[in-house]
Amino acid sequence: MESFGQVLLYLIIALVVIVGIVAVIRAVRIVPQSVALVVERLGRYSKTLDPGLHVLVPFVDRVRAGVDLREQVVSFPPQPVITSDNLVVEIDTVIYFQVTDAKSAVYEIANYITAIEQLTVTTLRNVIGSMDLEQTLTSRDQINGQLRGVLDEATGRWGIRVNRVELKSIEPPPSIQGAMEQQMRAERDRRAAILTAEGIKQSAILTAEGEKQSAILTAEGAAQSQILRAEGESRAIIQVFDAIHRGNADPKLLAYQYLQMLPQIAQGTSNTTWVIPTEFTAALGSIAQGFGGTPGTPGIPTPPGGDSPSDGPRPAAPVLDKPLLQDPSEALAEAQRQAEAAVADATSAGTRSGEPFDPSHERGQRPAGGTTPPPPAPPAPPVG
């Protein structure tokens, strides 16, 4: 009997110890940060435990539920919604909400996540039903604002605050998507064609402006060139004629100029006929006369005007410092030297002008048989 009593005593002591340990465990609660515990006492709401260490009455107080106070993100599956133009679109929504009152979230609604989902679907259908497809695709901010206002007002009594509502995707029917792609492609092609036409227009305008300016500058350059060329030729002609009249060129210079022109007449492989001017015979006569020949003899032409030793007295020829050259090569060299001297005299005399024209200077330049008018008589000296 004594052994049985001792065993029973030990069992009672162990049971008391176990009950004490369980009571202590149930009485002490540590609540983590951003979590709220709803405590019931004898089946009725007692209090809400904030983060920290708390002591409950064992077997009297009971934790009903723990509520997460952090902001939560819930993504709902696509929902079919009909627009005002009778098109069915699939819309995905994302809700950002936060529990602000743990007691209301536990006692005012059985499952607030499901309630938020259903409320979002019904509100979304009401909002999208008043818009067409074009407005639905371009009015996301407006739709988000309307959904947030309706959800926040409905969930406020549940102790929940809706922070944001986002439309993750809007998927129109495949046929509508194809039509929209064609429309966008046509619009982009139109814009590309307009930009191309504008570029071609600008390029043509710039090209025409450039050609216009180039033509103007070319014409101005050509005009200036012609003016300068004409002025140069005019001055050259004036200087040459002035030098000839002032220098009183003799027939030998003219004959030498004719000899210089003969190689130019003979240039070219197709020249089989030479056209010799009529003044050439007069030039030969001048050459022969200059080298001491007698005009009118066989092989020596007669100068124009019938001038010959028998026609009358001729002016006395200037006395040369040296005797006449008999060798033709020496005579040609002498003629070249005299021609160079005559050119130098004509060049130095080109700057002078004002003397009257002497018709006797044309002698030897007229065709054979022509006559040269006599020079005008000099004015009579005044009587003193």
How long a stretch of residues is the chain? 384
Cα–Cα dist 217/238, whole Å? 31
The reported pLDDT for the residue numbered 317 is 40
Q: Does the structure show a pLDDT above 60 at 98?
A: yes
| Phi, psi dihedrals of residue 263, rounded to the nearest 5° | -60, -35
Q: Does the structure show a pLDDT above 80 at 262?
A: no
Average pLDDT of span 12-19: 84
| Phi, psi dihedrals of residue 245, rounded to the nearest 5° | -65, -40
Q: What is the pTM of this model?
A: 0.45
Q: How many CA atoms lie within 13 A of 206 on its CB side?
A: 6
Q: Does the structure show a pLDDT above 70 at 102?
A: yes
Cα dihedral value 265, 269, 274, 275, nearest 10: -60
Q: Does the structure show a pLDDT above 90 at 201?
A: yes
Q: Which residue has the higher pLDDT, 143 or 240?
A: 143
Among 67-71, 225-229, 289-293, 378-382, the range scoring the smallest mean pLDDT is 378-382
The residue type at 20:
G
Confidence of residue 179 (pLDDT cuts 50, 70, 90): confident
Please list the alpha-helical segments (H only) found in the chain. Answer: 2-27, 102-107, 112-128, 133-138, 140-155, 174-247, 251-265, 279-290, 328-348
Among 33-42, 249-258, 262-271, 369-378, the range scoring the smallest mean pLDDT is 369-378
The reported pLDDT for the residue numbered 308 is 45
Cα–Cα dist 296/281, whole Å? 12
The residue type at 240:
V
The reported pLDDT for the residue numbered 328 is 53
Q: What would the DSSP string read from start to end of 262-297?
A: HHHHT-STT--S----THHHHHHHHHHHHTT--TTS
User: pLDDT (tens digit, 9 = 90+) per residue, 337-376?
Assistant: 776 776 676 556 554 444 454 555 445 444 444 444 555 5
Cβ distance 89 to 80 under 8 Å?
yes
User: pLDDT (tens digit, 9 = 90+) per residue, 210-254?
Assistant: 999 999 999 988 888 888 888 888 888 888 777 777 766 666 666
Collapse the DSSP code of 175 into the 3-class scheme (helix H, G, I; strand E, B; otherwise coil) and give the result.
helix
Average pLDDT of span 84-94: 87
Cβ distance 123 to 90 under 8 Å?
no
Which residues face 98 on adjacent strands? 71, 161
Cα–Cα dist 137/121, whole Å? 18
Average pLDDT of span 117-134: 88
Cα–Cα dist 359/244, whole Å? 12
User: pLDDT (tens digit, 9 = 90+) per residue, 152-176?
Assistant: 888 888 999 999 888 888 888 888 7
